A and B are shown apart, each in its own frame.
Chain A
Amino acid sequence: MFDLDRWNEIFVTISRNKTRSFLTAFGVFWGIFMLIALLGGGNGLEKLISGQFEGIASNSCFFWSGRTSEAYKGFRKGRYWRMNNKDVEIIRANVKGLEVIAPMLSTWANSDNVVRGEKKGTFSVQGNYASYNKIDNHKMMFGRYLNDIDLKEHRKVCVIGSRVYETLFNRGEDPLGHDIRIDGVYFKVIGVGEGGDNISFGDDKRNSITMPLTVMQRIYNYGDRVDILCAMAQPGIAVSEIHQQIETILKANHSIAPHDKQAVNSFNLETMFSQVAGLFTGVKLLAWIVGFGTLFAGIIGVSNIMMVTVRERTQEIGVRRALGARPSSIMGQIMSESFTITAMAGFLGISFGVLVLQMVDLGLSKDAGETTVFQIDFYTAIVSATIITCMGTLAGLGPAFRAMKIKPIEALSEE
């Protein structure tokens, strides 16, 4: 199979008609390039978007209050209601399959509400439970996140975002243990969160300050008010199950009609995740169909040209047959020719596709500081290479059979 003469022959026949070989090869090259580019692009897009969800538990849901849309138990419709600490207790005691329930308070920033010595800035403030970290994981640059003792003892401590740190502290300064003044009250900094471009409630995490919920309720005179309830399901429990239970409890607690659709606002991350995942499955499928289609057109081109080649070489093939070439040897020759064109163009296309994706990625990474996203994985490359190899061989099959059927006498009588 692997002898120098055959390869020499393949090279000679391919280079005999350079333009034609090049154009044929280009079809395959372009096909595989499209496939690689589309797959890599889809991958990149998916990773960029799913990067937004990084650190957020996908099995979680969120609730906040709205206006009622139905009159119920003597209350008029259009009433505004608020969640409170009691809801948290009841939910924790009654909802089956609940892993974490974390209430949250948040305020929008007043101008220059945060001060440290000469430095000041405008940042939003959130009150949280320590367990909120299980739902939305904070990566810490310094120090720690809130813990249960902070909440129980009403400690005036806070976790600040990275931009808050940059504004209030000198570069390289250790912020831990220093006091900052938030809306007139001094808080000790216990940690600095990295934040990122994740999704988050209220302001960007980098621009916000987190303090114990219990402390915030007291200092801001919120009583037992809660703005947002964050819930996470136990592993193996569908979010929709706890979602339903919590909604029912909230409605019962606040005299809201059971079928009121507007009073309780909520957001189920699991559904959203599955929608996004579905979207990307679609994108990937489309990439394969379009890429594969283009590639297939290229392969058909190869098959076509090989047919022409066989036609042109009828006399030569006849001579070879008369001199003792076995049909299998003629077939092998045609198939290795088609294989060589396809494989060479294909591997070049894969390499070029990877190169282009890498360049796109480099251009992108400079401003976002991302790791490699716009790229196909090694497995996809191997699969593509295998497809190319198989299709190249298959493309030669038809022409090879035609070549095999050439009878020496017919070929030799053709002058």
Chain B
Amino acid sequence: MIKLERINKTYYSGAPLHVLKGIDLHIGKGELVSIMGASGSGKSTLLNILGILDNYDTGNYYLNDVLIKNLGETRAAHFRNKLIGFIFQSFNLINFKNAMENVALPLYYRKVGRKTRNRMAVEYLDRLGLKDWAHHMPNELSGGQKQRVAIARALISKPQIILADEPTGALDSKTSAEVIQILRDVNREGMTMIIVTHESGIANLTDKIIRLRDGVIERIDDNSGHDASRFNPDNIK
């Protein structure tokens, strides 16, 4: 599904910063994986590369057996739209569009007709229990509701993988648990999901934990028993 081979990435703003130092990674279809690491460990950069938002310098990235390398902006946009669903910490809803229009946006860029995509958007909102909120603007929604709208938006394009960057970072613990539960449910339906987080409690709910440190993979923990939290003092639960 996802195969990274010796990925290197250096930023050249000011002094050269070697952020990713030869990442090798394999993530299979339907896995629920979390990426953990301190700030500066390169986890955001890794996520950007996985999400085709950023280029890498050397190595190979295969997504669905397609080599994703040095794509033009237009092709990158095409792949993002088709293969990847994004969930952000700060939701990133467009604040002058209502919930339904926000959810329907990826389909707009896929040139789906207005009626069809709005109907689909309402369906997805319904699945996330937000049908009654379809015509509300983002500023009329709570944080948890906003993130659920964002999840619906990530799902509507039926992507191959979902990338979630600190999906619970802006939410209280109760809503966090709800949102994670939704993500787990989605994963159970077969969706490959990668969650970047620094909360070990969240990471503990995933099946595999990838620990990054200073641009290299320090360790990959198999967490199918969901018992990683035992070894961590900063547990949220």
Which residues of chain A from 284 to 342 have any CB-CB distance to chain B below 8 Å in the complex?
Answer: 315-316, 318-329
> Judging by beta carbons under 8 Å apart, are A327 and B81 in contact?
no
Interface size on A, residues (CB 8 A): 24
Chain A binding surface SS class: helix
> Judging by beta carbons under 8 Å apart, are A315 and B92 in contact?
yes
The 0/1 profile, CB within 8 Å of B marked 1, for residues 1-16 of chain A is 0001100000011001
Give A320 to B153 CA distance when docked, in angstroms: 12
Give A323 to B109 CA distance when docked, in angstroms: 8
Neighbouring A residues of B53 by C-beta, 8 Å? 322, 407-409, 412
> Judging by beta carbons under 8 Å apart, are A322 and B80 in contact?
yes
Neighbouring A residues of B200 by C-beta, 8 Å? none
Which residues of chain B from 58 to 108 have any CB-CB distance to chain A below 8 Å in the complex?
Answer: 73-74, 77-78, 80-82, 86, 88, 90, 92-96, 105-106, 108
Selected from A5, A13, A323, the residue in CB contact (under 8 A) with B106 is A323
Neighbouring A residues of B157 by C-beta, 8 Å? 324
Selected from B51, B54, B73, the residue in CB contact (under 8 A) with A326 is B73
> Judging by beta carbons under 8 Å apart, are A324 and B106 in contact?
yes
Neighbouring B residues of A407 by C-beta, 8 Å? 53-54
> Judging by beta carbons under 8 Å apart, are B114 and A323 in contact?
no
> Judging by beta carbons under 8 Å apart, are B80 and A323 in contact?
yes
Min CB distance A267 to B, Å, is 72
**A408-B53, A412-B92 are contacts. A323–B86 as well, Cβ < 8 Å?**
yes
Give A12 to B95 CA distance when docked, in angstroms: 12
> Judging by beta carbons under 8 Å apart, are A409 and B48 in contact?
yes
Min CB distance B177 to A, Å, is 24
Selected from B54, B77, B82, the residue in CB contact (under 8 A) with A409 is B54
**A4-B114, A328-B74 are contacts. A323–B96 as well, Cβ < 8 Å?**
no
Selected from B90, B94, B105, B110, the residue in CB contact (under 8 A) with A415 is B90
Neighbouring A residues of B88 by C-beta, 8 Å? 412
Neighbouring A residues of B54 by C-beta, 8 Å? 407, 409
> Judging by beta carbons under 8 Å apart, are B77 and A321 in contact?
yes
**A5-B108, A322-B51, A409-B53 are contacts. A327–B94 as well, Cβ < 8 Å?**
no
Neighbouring B residues of A323 by C-beta, 8 Å? 80-81, 86, 105-106, 109, 153
> Judging by beta carbons under 8 Å apart, are B80 and A327 in contact?
no
- What residue in chain B is nearest A329 (Cβ atoms)? B109
Neighbouring B residues of A321 by C-beta, 8 Å? 77, 80
Q: Size range of the interface on B?
A: 20 to 34
Min CB distance B70 to A, Å, is 15
Min CB distance A350 to B, Å, is 31
Give A5 to B105 CA distance when docked, in angstroms: 11
Min CB distance B51 to A, Å, is 7
> Judging by beta carbons under 8 Å apart, are A320 and B105 in contact?
yes
Min CB distance A402 to B, Å, is 14
Give A316 to B86 CA distance when docked, in angstroms: 14
Min CB distance B77 to A, Å, is 5
- What residue in chain B is nearest A317 (Cβ atoms)? B94
Neighbouring B residues of A16 by C-beta, 8 Å? 96
**A5-B114, A408-B53, A412-B88 are contacts. A326–B106 as well, Cβ < 8 Å?**
no
- What residue in chain B is nearest A3 (Cβ atoms)? B114
- What residue in chain A is nearest B159 (Cβ atoms)? A324
A-B pairs, top 5 by smallest CB distance, nearest first, are A324-B81, A324-B109, A326-B77, A319-B92, A327-B73
23 A–B contacts, CB within 8 A, in A order: A315-B92, A316-B95, A319-B93, A320-B94, A320-B105, A321-B80, A322-B53, A322-B80, A322-B86, A322-B92, A323-B81, A323-B86, A324-B80, A324-B82, A324-B157, A325-B77, A326-B77, A326-B78, A327-B74, A407-B53, A407-B54, A409-B54, A412-B53
Listed in ascending order, the chain A residues whose CB lies under 8 Å from chain B are: 4-5, 12-13, 16, 315-316, 318-329, 407-409, 412, 415
Q: Add 18 more A-B contacts to A316-B95, A322-B86 (CB < 8 A).
A: A4-B114, A319-B92, A320-B94, A320-B109, A322-B92, A323-B80, A323-B86, A323-B105, A323-B109, A324-B78, A324-B110, A325-B77, A326-B73, A326-B109, A327-B77, A407-B54, A409-B48, A412-B92
